[in-house]
Amino acid sequence: MALIVFLPWSWRPWALSFLNLLVPSQRANLAAGKAHRIVIDWTVVMVRLVTRGFTRCRWVLAGDGSYFCVRLG
């Protein structure tokens, strides 16, 4: 996840990453004996973490088709 900020020395906004998550592949989960979770499941986890931290702020989640935005909505 990234935060869009406007820096005084730049004419365009910058996206500063503040939450990264490494998603294991299905093969790695099978080798470890864990249940596989798809990207949308991990996105829900990240959204819950952000909403827990930003309880008094409004924020917007934006994504593209590869992140199953319709299913997330």
Tell me the per-residue pLDDT of 7-24, one tens digit each, with 9 for 90 and over. 999 999 999 999 898 889
Question: Which residue range(s) make up the domain with 66?
Answer: 24-73
- Count of domains observed in the chain: 1
Within the chain, residue ranges assigned H as helices are 26-32, 39-53, 69-72
What is this structure's pTM? 0.70
**Tens of pLDDT along 43-65?**
888 888 888 888 888 888 877 66
Confirm whether 64 is domain-assigned: yes
Does residue 27 carry a pLDDT above 60? Answer: yes
CB 65 within 8 A of CB 38: no
Confirm whether 15 is domain-assigned: no
Confirm whether 47 is domain-assigned: yes
Confirm whether 49 is domain-assigned: yes
* Rounded Cα–Cα distance for residues 29 and 46 (Å): 19
pLDDT of residue 53: 83
